[in-house]
Amino acid sequence: MMMRSFVVLTLVGFIGLVMAQPPSQTQAPLVFRVTGESQAFPETAVLKFTIVGEGETLGKAQEQLQQSEQAVFKVLEKFGVRKDQIGTERFAIVPLQPSLSSGPPSPIALRPLGYRVQRGYGVTMPVSVETLDKLLQIADAVLQQGVRPMVVTEERYGYYPERMPYTLVEFMVRDPDRLVQQAMDDALSRARKLAEQATRHIGKVNLRLVRLTVSNIQTFPERRTITPEGRDPIGTFVWQPIKVIVQAEVSFNYE
Indicate the DSSP class of residue 146.
T
Which one has a higher pLDDT value, 106 or 50?
50
Show Cβ contacts of residue 188 under 8 Å, excluding neighbours closer than 6 positions.
Answer: 36, 209, 212, 248, 250
- The mean per-residue pLDDT over the stretch 24-45 comes to 86
- The mean per-residue pLDDT over the stretch 51-64 comes to 94
Q: Which stretch, 2-11, 24-33, 90-99, 201-210, has highest mean pLDDT?
A: 201-210
Give the pLDDT confidence of 167-188 residue by residue, as tens digits.
788 888 888 889 999 999 999 9
Show Cβ contacts of residue 129 under 8 Å, excluding neighbours closer than 6 positions.
Answer: 41, 239
CA 243 – CA 34 distance, rounded (Å): 17
Closest among 118, 119, 120 to 47, alpha carbons compared: 120
Compute the mean pLDDT over every residue in the chain, rounded to the nearest whole number: 78
Domains for the chain: give ranges and CATH numbers: 27-41+175-254 (3.30.110), 44-98+108-171 (3.30.70.2970)
Give the pLDDT confidence of 62-109 residue by residue, as tens digits.
999 999 999 999 999 999 999 999 999 999 999 987 655 555 555 555
Residue 236 confidence (pLDDT): 45
Residue 57 confidence (pLDDT): 93
Whether 189 has a pLDDT exceeding 70, the answer reads yes
Lowest mean pLDDT segment, chosen from 31-40, 95-104, 230-239: 230-239
Which one has a higher pLDDT value, 83 or 19?
83
Lowest mean pLDDT segment, chosen from 133-137, 140-144, 175-179, 232-236: 232-236
Whether 213 has a pLDDT exceeding 90, the answer reads yes
Q: pTM of whole model > 0.75?
A: no
- The mean per-residue pLDDT over the stretch 208-237 comes to 66
Which one has a higher pLDDT value, 214 or 22?
214
Task: Output 99-106 pairs: Cβ under 8 A, ≥24 positions apart.
Answer: none
Which secondary structure element, helix H or strand E, spans residue 134, and what is its range?
Answer: helix 132-143
CA 164 – CA 152 distance, rounded (Å): 8
For 143, phi then psi, to 5°, come to -65, -35
Cβ atoms 37, 254 nearer than 8 A = no
Show Cβ contacts of residue 150 under 8 Å, excluding neighbours closer than 6 positions.
Answer: 48, 49, 50, 89, 90, 120, 166, 167, 168
Residue 26 confidence (pLDDT): 59
Residue 100 confidence (pLDDT): 54
